[in-house]
Amino acid sequence: MLILPADNVWINWSIFRRYNGYQPFLYNISTDFCQLMKNVNKLSFESLVINAIMTKSNLNHTCPYNHDIILDNLEFSDDFLKKLPLPQGDYKIQLRFATYRVWRVQVTIFFVRDEL
């Protein structure tokens, strides 16, 4: 995201489940990231993921972003995974970020959900 300040930011959220390769599963939407950051404490899948990302990044304020975005050593805790209403299986969460209607960054997270 090279054009600063970034004040027109969108995020696409997708969940995939591994069956015979990763297949789309349950969730694929795009959201205005700036609006989400203004109300990050609401109860939703987006807020759960953003709150987890905020613990290891400098994404801790609303738009505009006048600096580089740093995401370092992101690890989802067991408490986070327990909150997700997903059956047992292998999953991929894909986050794509766009500024000014151009997709610029993709973050892919793989995890295994085991029943306890």
pLDDT in tens, 49-95: 777 777 777 777 677 777 667 777 777 766 766 777 778 889 898 98
Task: Check: CB of residue 27 under 8 Å from CB of residue 16.
Answer: no
User: Residue 60 domain-assigned?
Assistant: yes
| Interval 101-115 mean pLDDT | 84
Which range of residues forms the domain containing residue 38?
9-113
Q: Exposed/middle/buried for 70, CB within 10 Å: 0-12, 13-18, 19+?
A: exposed
User: Residue 93 domain-assigned?
Assistant: yes
Least reliable range by pLDDT among 35-44, 83-92, 93-102: 35-44
* pLDDT for 17: 92
3 has a pLDDT exceeding 70 = no
Domain count across the chain: 1
User: Residue 3 domain-assigned?
Assistant: no
20 has a pLDDT exceeding 80 = yes
Task: Check: CB of residue 74 under 8 Å from CB of residue 80.
Answer: no
